[in-house]
Amino acid sequence: NIKGFIFDLDGVLTDTAEFHYRSWQKLADEENLNFNRQINEQLRGVSRMQSLEIILAGQEVPTAQKKEWTDRKNEYYQEYLAELTKKNILDDMEAKLHQLKKAGYKLAVGSSSRNAKKVLKNLQISDLFDTISDGNSVERAKPAPDLFLHTAEVIGLEPAECVVLEDAESGVEAALAAGMIAVGIGPAERVGKAHLVYTSVSDIDFEEVLTKI
C-alpha cells in the first residue's frame, strides 16, 4: 500500500546535470584532468568527492588538493545555481506533485546533493515536500540505502510504502536495497533494474505506477 513518493532531485525534478558537467569541465581544464561528457554520465547521482575519484580514475592526489578541487568545482556550480528559477523544473513535474499531494500522499526529496535545499528554493517548490533529505543527511551515499531509509523514517512510512523516482543507476540500487519500489527514468542500460522504467520525466504516469506495482 503506497503512501509516499521520494523524488531524486537532479535528473528527476530539474536538470542540473548540465551545470554539474560545466563546473567539472572548467576545473578539469584548469587542472589538466581528463574529462568529457561521457565521463560526466558516470557522475549521475554520485556524491561530490566520489565524483572526483571517478574523474581521477586511480590517479593519486593529496587529500588537501582533492578538497580544494571539490570546493572550487562547487563554487562554479553555485554560480550556475544563482541563475536557477522556476523555469528549470522539468516538464509538468510541478503539476504532478500538486496532484499527488492533493490525493494525500507524503512527498519527499532524497538527493545526493549538498546543494539540494538551495536548488529547491530557487525552483520555488520547497513547500511541497514533507521533508528534504540531501547529501548532508546521512554518511553513506547512494547506492547505500541509508538516504532513502532516513527519508522514510522522517515522514513516518515503512520502506515498502514508498516509491522512489530515480534517474541514476546508483539511486535505483539504493531504492531497491532500501526495500522500496523503484521507478527508473532513462535508458534501460542505466535504470533497467527498477520495477518500472520511463524513458523521460514527461512519460511518468503516476496512475500507472500505482496500479502496476
Return the residue of 4, 5, 6, 8 that touches Mg ion, per CB under 5 A. 8
Judge whether 73 is annotated as a binding position: yes
Q: In the annotation, is 8 catalytic?
A: yes
Nearer to Mg ion, 15 or 130 (CB): 15
Q: In the annotation, is 203 catalytic?
A: no
Q: Is 135 a binder of ligand G16 (CB under 6 A)?
A: yes
Question: How far apart, in whole angstroms, are the C-alpha atoms of residue 48 and residue 106?
Answer: 28
Question: How far apart, in whole angstroms, are the C-alpha atoms of residue 26 and residue 133?
Answer: 28
Judge whether 9 is annotated as a binding position: yes
Residues 6 or more apart whose CB falls under 8 angstroms from that of 145 comprise 174, 175, 177, 178, 179
The stretch among 45-53, 151-159, 183-191, 192-200 that binds ligand G16 (CB under 6 A) is 45-53
Q: Is 169 a binder of ligand G16 (CB under 6 A)?
A: no
Return the C-alpha cell found at 128. Answer: 511541497
Sign of CA dihedral 106, 107, 112, 116: negative
The stretch among 7-15, 132-140, 149-157, 187-195 that binds Mg ion (CB under 5 A) is 7-15
x/- track of binding to ligand G16 for residues 77-96 (CB under 6 A): --------------------
Whether 45 contacts 169, CB under 8 Å: yes
The distance from CA 141 to its chain's CA centroid, rounded to whole angstroms, is 11
Q: Is 110 a binder of Mg ion (CB under 5 A)?
A: no
**Residues identified as active-site:** 8, 10
